[in-house]
Chain A
Amino acid sequence: MSSPPFSRFALFTAIGAVVWISFLPLYDLLFSWTEFVPGINWIYLPHGLRMMLVLLLGPAGALGFSIGAALYTSFTTHGPQLNSELDLILALIPGLAAWFAVMLTFRQWPGQSLRPLVHAGTQALDGRRLLLLAFVSAILNSTSHITTRYALGHEVHEWGDLLMAMLIGDFFGALLLLYTLKGCIVLLDNINATSMHHDRQAKSESP
């Protein structure tokens, strides 16, 4: 039974929003000390989550975490908190930036889907490509975010300082999340291999 494309898009959007809203409080709890100015941190782990949501869920993931970000900013005291319209635009920018970054990095232009790459089992997504994606999306996100803040808000901080802080925060936050996940995968592999090794040893020692 195949569900219509709209319900699939809605489902993936909802997953993206829920994941974002669940992750952000944890991040704020652990990394609030890295805040430079409201909405800009020196280490921004959620940027890595954005990349993964777009890779996993496509444009629906981008829309999902944008909705999640808009809801989170309006119902908590975290985030830029400038004015409601600007907060909404600033919540949508990362979604567009991450989606464009994925399209640019994988040379899958808007309108094309990542699905053929996934189903063909190609090596299109390797570690180097992930790092490139982190860099490209950090540049797109930080420049568009800061430019919008300056164009539509009343920003009192230096443009260069904000841009540098956000670029570094997004890029290194994504790296930290990606390498933490890699560490977890390696650890799980090791635990599996150890139990298999012990099973094999127990079998070979039993009469």
Chain B
Amino acid sequence: MTDKQNPNLLDLYLRFRWLVDGLKTLPSADVLSIPNVEFLLADITQAWKSGEPYPINKLLDRQEIGHFNTVRKRIHQLKDAGLVALQGSATDSRVKLVVPTEKALRYFEEYAAVIRQVGK
């Protein structure tokens, strides 16, 4: 640490960042109860299942799901809820692919089981 640095300001800034990170993680409503989120997760899973997972940029440009910002927010909500993950592409590490996690696959399995049970 050089003489010119102000430890008070540094400490205050670190505390501020700490608080902002805390505010960002305030609990929200169940992510899948938000409109379009389940549809988005199904879309991501479908694309992944067919062997062509969505690059994040392509997903952000899908106007039919919502505005760019809305889609971005939903992807992050799904990521925070542990339902999707961002994976580097095998061909281009700069491209991030949105893929479902084990938790998302389990969710759809349980969903399918409920539908089967109702159909009996």
Instruction: Name A residues whose Cβ lies closer than 8 Å to a Cβ of B.
Output: 1-3, 8, 11-12, 52, 55-57, 114-115, 117-119, 125-131, 178-179, 181-182, 185-186, 190, 193-194, 197
B115 located at the interface, meaning its Cβ lies under 8 Å from any Cβ of chain A in the complex: no
B114 located at the interface, meaning its Cβ lies under 8 Å from any Cβ of chain A in the complex: no
Q: A178, B27: Cβ atoms under 8 Å? A: no
Given contacts A56-B12, A118-B11, could you give 17 more A-B pairs where the C-beta distance is less than 8 Å?
Answer: A1-B3, A2-B7, A55-B18, A57-B12, A114-B15, A119-B14, A125-B21, A126-B22, A127-B25, A127-B26, A129-B22, A185-B23, A190-B72, A190-B73, A194-B68, A197-B60, A197-B68
Q: B26, A178: Cβ atoms under 8 Å? A: yes
30 contacts between A and B (CB under 8 A): A1-B3, A3-B7, A8-B8, A11-B8, A12-B8, A52-B19, A56-B12, A56-B16, A57-B12, A115-B11, A117-B18, A118-B15, A125-B21, A126-B21, A126-B22, A126-B25, A127-B22, A127-B23, A127-B24, A127-B25, A128-B25, A129-B22, A131-B26, A182-B26, A186-B24, A190-B69, A193-B69, A193-B72, A194-B68, A197-B68
5 closest Cβ pairs, A-B complex = A127-B26, A127-B25, A125-B22, A190-B69, A126-B25
Q: A55, B23: Cβ atoms under 8 Å? A: no
Q: A55, B27: Cβ atoms under 8 Å? A: no
Instruction: Name B residues whose Cβ lies closer than 8 Å to a Cβ of A.
Output: 3-4, 6-8, 11-12, 14-16, 18-27, 60, 68-69, 72-73
Measured in the bound complex, the distance between the Cα atoms of B26 and A1 in whole Å is 37
Main DSSP-derived SS at the A contact region: helix
Indicate which residue in A115, A181, A190 contacts B23 across the interface (CB closer than 8 Å): A181
Give, as a whole number of angstroms, the nearest-CB distance from B79 to chain A: 14
Main DSSP-derived SS at the B contact region: helix
Chain A residues whose CB sits within 8 angstroms of the CB of B23 once the complex forms: 127, 130, 178, 181-182, 185
Give, as a whole number of angstroms, the nearest-CB distance from A117 to chain B: 8
Indicate which residue in B4, B15, B24, B60 contacts A182 across the interface (CB closer than 8 Å): B24
Q: A55, B15: Cβ atoms under 8 Å? A: yes
Chain B residues whose CB sits within 8 angstroms of the CB of A127 once the complex forms: 22-27
Q: B69, A194: Cβ atoms under 8 Å? A: yes
Give, as a whole number of angstroms, the nearest-CB distance from A14 to chain B: 12
Give, as a whole number of angstroms, the nearest-CB distance from B105 to chain A: 27
Chain B residues whose CB sits within 8 angstroms of the CB of A114 once the complex forms: 15
Give, as a whole number of angstroms, the nearest-CB distance from A21 to chain B: 19
Chain B residues whose CB sits within 8 angstroms of the CB of A129 once the complex forms: 22
Chain A residues whose CB sits within 8 angstroms of the CB of B11 once the complex forms: 115, 118
Measured in the bound complex, the distance between the Cα atoms of B26 and A125 in whole Å is 10
Measured in the bound complex, the distance between the Cα atoms of B2 and A95 in whole Å is 35
Give, as a whole number of angstroms, the nearest-CB distance from A153 to chain B: 35
Chain B residues whose CB sits within 8 angstroms of the CB of A126 once the complex forms: 21-22, 25
Measured in the bound complex, the distance between the Cα atoms of B22 and A179 in whole Å is 11
Measured in the bound complex, the distance between the Cα atoms of B24 and A130 in whole Å is 11
Q: A128, B18: Cβ atoms under 8 Å? A: no
Who on chain B is nearest to A56 by CB?
A: B15
Measured in the bound complex, the distance between the Cα atoms of B25 and A127 in whole Å is 5
